[in-house]
Amino acid sequence: MTRFEVSTGIAAPPRRVFELSLEVEVHTASMAGSGEWAVGGVTSGRMQLGDTVTWQARHFGLRWRMTSRISACEPPGYFVDEQVAGPFERWHHAHHFEPDGTGGTVMRDVIEFAAPLGPLGTLAERTVLGWYMPRLIRLRNEHLRNAAETAG
């Protein structure tokens, strides 16, 4: 299993960043490079506790689907999404939103994931997914930062 954290400073209040983070349209726009879109469950608007969404995207030249559920939610401090069906053996993504003391937010993503296929999956985590997944989260966070800082 692989675990990593990404912290992002955003010049917008935690509630604003929290709410944008749950917007399907903001997520799909942040993942435009992989053509990600919601194809099942909640496909537009703001997700809530218990909601599921099935995402479809293209990574490494292959089409993938992953269904995740919002399994914990305490506005505006954090929420968790977990894979209920998809390519990973395990996917757990905790999103934390903390005031930075100047009216902004420190957003912290804590991700734990495990690839399937035993030793082959472990090799994929160490050689490819270990750098690819943090890069993907940083791209998403940059989009979210831009959205939060420019939105009214």
All domains of the chain in start order, with CATH:
2-150 (3.30.530.20)
CA atoms of 56 and 33, how far apart (whole Å): 12
Is there a contact between 31 and 119 (Cβ–Cβ < 8 Å)? no
φ/ψ bin of 144: left (φ > 0), alpha (ψ from -120 to 50), beta (otherwise): alpha
CB 20 within 8 A of CB 111: no
Cα distance between residue 39 and residue 65, in whole Å: 9
CA–chain centroid gap for 108, Å, is: 11
Give the tens place of pLDDT for each residue, 50-88: 999 999 999 888 899 999 999 999 999 999 999 999 999
Distance CA 26, CA 12 (A): 16
Q: pLDDT band for position 33 (50/70/90)?
A: confident
- Record the tokens describing residue 71, joined without a space: 């399994």
Please tell me the pTM assigned to this model. 0.93
Give 91's pLDDT tier (boundaries 50, 70, 90).
very high
